[in-house]
Amino acid sequence: MSNEGRSGPGLWDRLTGTDRPLRNSLHCWADNRYQETSWDAVIRAAEATTAGLRNAGVRPGTRVAAVLTNSAHVVEGLLGVWFAGGSVASLPVPARGMTFEEYAAQLTVIGEQLEPVVFLIEANLLALLPDSLTARFRFRSWESFAGTGRVPVAPPGDDDIAFIQYSSGSTSSPKGCVLTPRAIAAQLDIIADLIDARPHRDVFVSWLPLSHDMGLFGGLLSSWANDFSLYLSTPERFTFAPATWFSDMAEFGGRSSAGTNTSLYLAARSARRAKRMPAGGLGAVENCIIGAERIDWETLTFAAESLAPYGLRPNGLVPAYGLAEATLAVTAMPKGEEPWRRVVVDATALADSELIEVEPDDPLGAAVVSAGVPCTGVELVESGSGRLDEIVVRSPSTAVGYWADESRSAQTFRDGALHTADLGFVKDGHLYPVGRTDDLISIAGRKVYAREVESVVDGIEGVRRGCSTLVAHHAGSGQRLMLFIEVNGKQADYNEVASAAAEVAMAKAAVALDECVFLDRDSLPKTPTGKIQRHRCRNLFEAGRFDPLAVIDLAKG
């Protein structure tokens, strides 16, 4: 199963131990404990699914729609599909606030585009899907293929389609990034260099969903290919007890992990309150990669302060930038430098793409955190404008396009580069991501970055951190700027919070809020990694699906 034409071992050699024997194990969280399966046993179990998969129609050139949850059956089945020759299309798991009817509609749209030979999903989720969906496509549980027998393995070739990564839809309708084994193997090299991987020796701890690129490539496949011990928790366990992320790292000596800005704050706050980890328990942590969303300086400093008593060093938190279109990683803070960097710029000018540096304590300043320098083999294509601009990337791990979407593919993948639709700037070789073009709201002749307002609203007493979102809502022929806020408890003074939000929005971004909509906790729709789905907030509001605790009309004065 070697891959010719590569300077190093191919993807399948790495995952099957042909490259080097595998000695370590996968540990999956199930039944309130970690259950161990050696990587060799995972491979044998994957081989034992191939006869059943072949009988289900999986063979070279076919596509399998897959909901990748964090279980051993799914890990074994993933490799099994590849062994049987199929390409895996990873579909989003249900987002918070999404009904199963909405989820079924999302799967239907993707399924009609994808035309898979089979849908694979865990048995407990399969039982919840409506008959209208299961009658339309052929569904099977991952568990049903276990032990069905072996056929000769025939995984996709280097430049065939191996994986189609569908987004969770945090900013728009889902789109499927098409990846080849060559691109995935190149990304595994990038990650190995980023974390200075020590094959056979390292411990990786992850709770991120395998349906997310950071969970699959950054956690599972990089650990597998480097023969790490991987402790794979679940998003559900993290949501219920965020401190388990770092307590697991302390217990098992985790050297590497990954998460988002929001999850880092939640985990640090939870660990600070729980105080159950041993002193020095996080001393082994060197590569806790923080990415997937814009990183807040305050989150980094809060987490470092909260976790310092347990041995975490500041440089153990590593800001990074990546996206599914590049398989995963693009930039990261290099080792040996100061742990983090930031540039503070005028927030109002930033909305007009101008970069005007101000003093760190300027109330009109927006702190933009460095996501580091390009990873090995990756290039940032700079415009040289000296302004905020689209982030453009060249990488050996770039996707070849979007599945069945020529127009979007041509717009994103052109001139030999990946045009990300993310905005940022480069200073002294460091990338400073600001946000997506979707985050830029134009209203009443003004432009505003939603995240700039949301970040200061987070600091208002009574507001749940990471639980506010700014939305422009069409009302008749005009637009209203609405702020959705989840509050801590129902005793908050809504008028006082709304007034404070309006004040900071005007001070920070020179925009006037029209309305504040107050919601109970866990009302805002989020992806499994914790990003608020701004477009779904608007849709849910317009459909009357929210049950507000209060609505304050600020436009009435």
What is the tens place of the pLDDT at every residue in 374-384? Answer: 999 999 998 88
- CA dist 302 and 289 (Å) reads 16
The hierarchical CATH code for the domain 439-556 is: 3.30.300.30
Report whether pLDDT(321) > 90.
Answer: yes
What is the average per-residue pLDDT within 409-413? 95
For Cα atoms 91, 92, 93, give the angle at the middle one, nearest 5 degrees: 120
72-109 pLDDT per residue, tens: 999 999 999 999 999 999 998 877 667 777 788 888 88
The per-residue pLDDT of the chain, averaged, comes to 89
What is the average per-residue pLDDT within 217-236? 97
- 278 against 188, higher pLDDT: 188
> Amino acid identity of 459?
G
Structure tokens at 49: 């699914």
Of 228, 192, 223, give the one whose Cα is nearest residue 8.
Answer: 192
Measured in whole angstroms, how far is the alpha carbon of residue 210 from the centre of its chain? 10
Lowest-confidence pick of 178-182, 289-293, 324-328, 534-538: 534-538
The single-letter DSSP state of residue 31 is T
Report whether pLDDT(243) > 60.
Answer: yes
* Residue 44 neighbours by CB under 8 Å, 6+ apart: none
Sign of torsion over alpha carbons 180, 222, 231, 38:
positive
Phi, psi (degrees; rounded to nearest 5) at 542:
-65, -25
45-80 pLDDT per residue, tens: 999 999 999 999 999 999 999 999 999 999 999 999
What is the average per-residue pLDDT within 30-52? 97
What is the three-state SS of 408-443? HHHHHEECCEEEEEEEEEEECCEEEEEEEHHHEEEE
- Give the confidence band of 8 by pLDDT, cuts at 50, 70, 90: low
pLDDT value of position 482: 87
- 3 against 456, higher pLDDT: 456
pLDDT value of position 473: 72
pLDDT value of position 288: 98
- CA dist 176 and 64 (Å) reads 13
What is the average per-residue pLDDT within 231-244? 94
Report whether pLDDT(186) > 80.
Answer: yes
- Give the confidence band of 2 by pLDDT, cuts at 50, 70, 90: very low
Beta strands 515-519 and 478-487 are: parallel
For Cα atoms 467, 537, 390, give the angle at the middle one, nearest 5 degrees: 85
- 303 against 543, higher pLDDT: 303
Of 205, 250, 265, give the one whose Cα is nearest residue 70.
Answer: 205
What is the average per-residue pLDDT within 532-553? 80
Q: Is 147 left (phi over 0), alpha (psi -120 to 50) or beta?
A: left
Report whether pLDDT(476) > 70.
Answer: no
* Residue 372 neighbours by CB under 8 Å, 6+ apart: 318, 319, 320, 321, 331, 332, 333, 334, 430, 431
User: What residues does CATH 3.30.300.30 cover in the chain?
Assistant: 439-556
Lowest-confidence pick of 302-311, 327-336, 372-381, 447-456: 447-456
Report whether pLDDT(39) > 70.
Answer: yes
- In CATH terms, the fold of domain 29-179 is Rossmann fold (3.40.50)
Report whether pLDDT(461) > 90.
Answer: no
Q: 470: buried, middle or exposed (CB in 10 Å: 19+, 13-18, 0-12)?
A: buried
DSSP H stretches of helix in 256-393: 261-274, 297-307, 347-351
- CA dist 116 and 282 (Å) reads 44
Structure tokens at 443: 């209203």
Structure tokens at 207: 């709770």
What is the average per-residue pLDDT within 213-223? 97
Radius of gyration of the chain (CA): 23
User: What residues does CATH 3.40.50.980 cover in the chain?
Assistant: 29-179
176 and 91 Cβ atoms separated by less than 8 Å: no
- Give the confidence band of 170 by pLDDT, cuts at 50, 70, 90: very low
Report whether pLDDT(488) > 70.
Answer: yes
pLDDT value of position 534: 76
**CA distances from residue 469 to 151, 266, 271, 448, 532 in whole angstroms, order as listed:** 51, 18, 26, 13, 7
Report whether pLDDT(435) > 60.
Answer: yes
Q: Is 311 left (phi over 0), alpha (psi -120 to 50) or beta?
A: left
* Residue 315 neighbours by CB under 8 Å, 6+ apart: 286, 335, 339
Taking the CA of residue 476 as centre, how many other CA atoms within 13 Å lie in the half-sphere pointing to its CB?
A: 1
Report whether pLDDT(235) > 60.
Answer: yes
- CA dist 24 and 202 (Å) reads 10
Q: Residue for token digits 């005009």?
A: 478
pLDDT value of position 6: 35
325-356 pLDDT per residue, tens: 999 999 999 988 889 999 999 887 887 788 99
- Give the confidence band of 137 by pLDDT, cuts at 50, 70, 90: very high
Give percent above pLDDT 90 in the chain. 62
H or E stretch at 499? helix 494-509
492-512 pLDDT per residue, tens: 789 899 999 888 888 777 778
Lowest-confidence pick of 265-279, 337-351, 441-455: 441-455
- Give the confidence band of 196 by pLDDT, cuts at 50, 70, 90: very high
pLDDT value of position 365: 84
- CA dist 319 and 372 (Å) reads 7
Lowest-confidence pick of 7-16, 350-359, 388-397, 466-475: 466-475
What is the average per-residue pLDDT within 275-299? 89
> Amino acid identity of 319?
P
pLDDT value of position 129: 87
- CA dist 553 and 557 (Å) reads 8
